């Protein structure tokens, strides 16, 4: 069965172009126009039709912490998987059709149990996983954020240590997309090429590294920075630090790393969001850094041995000013970028579609409206508000939209 989306403003490559989009429901992919074939026509009445959003840093959803599976017991895995499927179904209604479920610093047994659940997926009814994002535990104690320090390790034994902590070669190869680690931690620089060989993106984060160490990481194969500005030294005009890598003459435009930016107005001041975005718009990816409290009412919530206070989009460890992730949806971050950086909607949407897809090398499957890409689609009004979501060409039902609001 073919579907033709017509009377649409096709949003791709930071452009809005009036036109039609054809989808094959059997394959779930975008296809070449075929007017002579039997097809359904969906009139979008001038609305924006964008690729589904990609978020490479999401820690949890609707009460589920992606790091919270500490047992391989079948009952525990079954319960976690049920909650995971439910959360990923609800999250689809926010326009985010693919994520890298993020596991914060943890013990080896957690990676062993949870990564097989977070493995890459392709579904018509829920947000896909593109593979897990492992944020830690090879990070710097001085930039720990809310990560549990008892899990921290170094990699002085080399890449083998990472394999040991992350549950072995197969667990890493089959289930992981991104590893965030601090390059100054012993053994991390040497492990970067090994991660790259396994098609895993290495990202600098939770680090005290100075600019020169950042350049060494790029030389080794680093292509990403995790939540720019957060959990790293702030730039100084004589010591740019990791932030300076996004405009580094030494690295050059081709090696400028992609960088995540949390445009929620809590993690980064709007003026600093604008500075980073304007410096390298072609490498900027908006991320939510969403915690499991997204979608839940304001209040105080238990998180392992800690407590988190949720106040609107702000999440902080109780009794401190330490940020503990975020609770803002990605479409809201897009609208913030439009307003703060004064860029058109189609330009801002590239930061949640085309750019993250290229950053993790899935541009042939996700994040574009090209023939052969998955028909993960978001219909928006001209102000960036979501009107409808399609997953592999299948419309998200009203029932799922209601469930997501509960």
Catalytically active residues are 289
Distance, CA of 151 to CA of 164 (rounded, Å): 14
Nearest residue to 95 via CA among 376, 342, 313: 376
Q: What are phi and psi of 203, to 5 degrees?
A: -125, 135
Query: What is the DSSP secondary-structure string of 20-50?
Result: EEEEETTTTEEE---TTS-EEEEE-TT-EEE
Distance, CA of 157 to CA of 331 (rounded, Å): 42
Distance, CA of 24 to CA of 404 (rounded, Å): 27
Question: What is the H or E stretch that residue 10 is in?
Answer: strand 2-12
Question: What is the H or E stretch that residue 226 is in?
Answer: none
Nearest residue to 60 via CA among 249, 362, 315: 315
Omega within 30 of 0 (cis) for the link into 112: no
Is there a contact between 289 and 267 (Cβ–Cβ < 8 Å)? yes
């Amino acid at each position: 069965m073919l579907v033709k989306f017509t009377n649409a403003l096709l949003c791709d490559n930071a452009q809005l172009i009036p036109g039609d989009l054809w989808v094959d429901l059997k394959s779930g992919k975008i296809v070449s126009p075929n007017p002579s074939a039997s097809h359904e026509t969906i009139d979008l009445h001038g609305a924006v039709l964008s690729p589904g959003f990609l978020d490479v840093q999401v820690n949890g959803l609707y009460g589920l912490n992606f790091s919270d599976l500490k047992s391989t017991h079948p009952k525990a895995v079954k319960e976690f998987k049920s909650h995971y499927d439910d959360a990923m179904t609800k999250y689809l209604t926010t326009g985010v059709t693919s994520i890298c479920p993020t596991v914060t610093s943890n013990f080896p047994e957690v990676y062993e149990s949870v990564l097989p659940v977070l493995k890459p997926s392709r579904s018509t009814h829920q947000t896909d996983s593109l593979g897990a994002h492992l944020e830690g535990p090879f990070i710097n104690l001085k930039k720990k954020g809310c990560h549990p320090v008892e899990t921290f390790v170094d990699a002085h034994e080399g890449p083998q240590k990472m394999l040991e902590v992350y549950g072995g070669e197969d667990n890493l190869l089959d289930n992981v997309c991104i590893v965030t680690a601090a390059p100054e931690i012993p053994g991390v620089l040497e492990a970067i090429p090994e991660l790259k060989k396994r098609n895993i993106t290495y990202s600098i984060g939770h680090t005290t590294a100075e600019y020169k160490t950042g350049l060494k990481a790029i030389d080794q194969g680093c292509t990403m920075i995790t939540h720019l500005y957060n959990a790293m030294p702030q730039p100084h005009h004589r010591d740019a630090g990791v932030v300076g890598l996004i405009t580094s003459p030494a690295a050059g435009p081709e090696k400028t790393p992609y960088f995540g930016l949390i445009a929620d107005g809590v993690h980064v001041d709007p003026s600093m969001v604008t500075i980073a975005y304007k410096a390298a718009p072609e490498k900027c990816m908006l991320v939510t850094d969403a915690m499991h409290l997204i979608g839940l009412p304001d209040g105080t919530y238990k998180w392992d041995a800690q407590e988190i206070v949720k106040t609107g989009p702000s999440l902080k460890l109780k009794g401190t000013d330490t940020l503990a992730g975020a609770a803002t949806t990605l479409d809201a971050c897009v609208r913030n970028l439009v307003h703060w950086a004064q860029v058109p909607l189609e330009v801002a949407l590239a930061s949640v579609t085309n750019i993250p897809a290229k950053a993790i090398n899935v541009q042939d499957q996700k994040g574009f409206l090209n023939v052969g890409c998955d028909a993960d689609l978001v219909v928006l009004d001209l102000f960036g508000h979501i009107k409808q979501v399609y997953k592999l060409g299948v419309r998200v039902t009203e029932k799922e939209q209601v469930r997501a609001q509960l």
